[in-house]
Structure 1
Amino acid sequence: MPSLSAALLVAALAGCAGMPVDTAQQDAAWQRHAAWVRAQHDWRLTGRFALKIGHRGWTASLHWRERAGDYRIDIFDPLGRTVAQLNGGPQRVTLRTDGSAPRHADSAAALMQAELGWSLPVAGLRYWVRGVPAPGTQPTRMQFDGSGRLAYLVQNGWEVSYLDYNEALGARALPARLRLVNGDVHLTLLVDRWGAAQ
């Protein structure tokens, strides 16, 4: 015969399952969170990523620093050797690889594809990695967690799933693990550490 506490727990869980989500409260939490994230113009992260395109795959670590609209992304192989350094701003992107002259272009993704044979969706990822949509185009779909943070986003052909958040800048939660999919391109990004740009 079940105990009284077990019966009460079952009843409580059954009641919670039918409780409607307060969408107004969730929307307000999302607006506050998004406004705070967008106000952080200077930031940096250290992390790792696994990229799979069809049957080909790459793993690497990266240091990403963003300051006043300019960014620098250093990419390292599993042994810690520098694979590439990407510097970008509103008008121009420069890619440096070991032993090669710097290459310039308007698009980071196109430049990486041409020089490395693979690319990251840098233009969108600058925003997605912080848990907000990229400006300029309306997301096709957005879903939120119970704290009003993005749980799932579809934008510019990419499906972005937010698998984990960690307390980061100013004790606010920022994404710690993301999965991005666009056709046969699969990208998993793990953020080990967030910080303010120096």
Structure 2
Amino acid sequence: MNSRRQLLWSLLTAGFLSACAVPPARVGEGLAQQASAGGVASFDLSARFSLQFNPPSGQEQRQFSGRLQWQHGPLGDKLLFMDPLGQGVAELQRPALGPVLLQLADGTRREADDPDQLIGEVLGVPLPLGELAGWVQAIPGPGALMEPDAQGRPRRVRESGWLLFYHYGDGESEFSRLPARLDASLDGVLKLRLSFEAWEPLP
């Protein structure tokens, strides 16, 4: 693992707690209505996350967990990765036009035209940010293989080499079509869990 990759992993793992279960996501009414109709153009979400990286033999297994604040809209994306106390560790800015910027807590900055490429260079495996905005709303992309649950919601989805499992809160409210948790894995190399805490639509 090169020095830049080691730096990011050491920053992200410093002081992070183990991932834990959280209550079903609190969902803004407008977002729930739009999600059931096919997703929203803009949202602000908070989530606990855990990431486990199982590299090829000869490399050290790594895992960390923390919090994610994500603003998504037509002008682009801003993802802030934090420790459990809310201190920023890394920030990824993806404008609608122009290069993607990754900035670490020590001031290190990286730029790339493709966010997946940038994350792949740093972590060694890509995170599909292009699809993730739909995934967190339980909206599979075109060509995805989807197995629904008894209510017709996506339960198990295979897309772009990833296997996604959705978990929903109890009840029959209008919010129940949005997931409370997403478990995603890529060929056993990368495992990502997002436990959603809050959703809000943005104007």
Residues 8-47 of structure 1 correspond to what in structure 2 (within 5 A)? 36-38=37-39, 40-47=40-47
**How far off is 1:65 after superposition?**
0.9
Is 2:85 the partner of 1:60? no
Q: Secondary structure in 2 aligned to 1:127?
A: helix
Larger radius of gyration: 1
* Counterpart Cα distance in 1 of 2:38 and 2:93: 22
Identity of aligned residues (%): 27
Residues 48-127 of structure 1 correspond to what in structure 2 (within 5 A)? 48-54=48-54, 55-68=61-74, 70-91=76-97, 92-115=99-122, 120-127=127-134
How many residue pairs align between the two structures?
A: 161
Q: Match for residue 149 of structure 1?
A: 153
* Counterpart Cα distance in 2 of 1:177 and 1:131: 10
**How far off is 1:179 after superposition?**
0.6
Q: Give the TM-score normalised by structure 2.
A: 0.69
Q: Which consecutive residues of structure 1, in runs of 5 or more, have no partner in the other structure?
A: 1-31
* Counterpart Cα distance in 2 of 1:57 and 1:96: 20
**How far off is 1:171 after superposition?**
4.2
Pick the structure with more helix per residue.
1
* Cα RMSD after superposing both structures: 2.6
Q: Is the CA contact (8 Å cut-off) linking 1:33 and 1:148 kept in structure 2? A: no
Q: Is the CA contact (8 Å cut-off) linking 2:53 and 2:63 kept in structure 1? A: yes
Residues 107-186 of structure 1 correspond to what in structure 2 (within 5 A)? 107-115=114-122, 120-134=127-141, 137-139=142-144, 141-165=145-169, 171=175, 173-183=177-187, 184-186=189-191
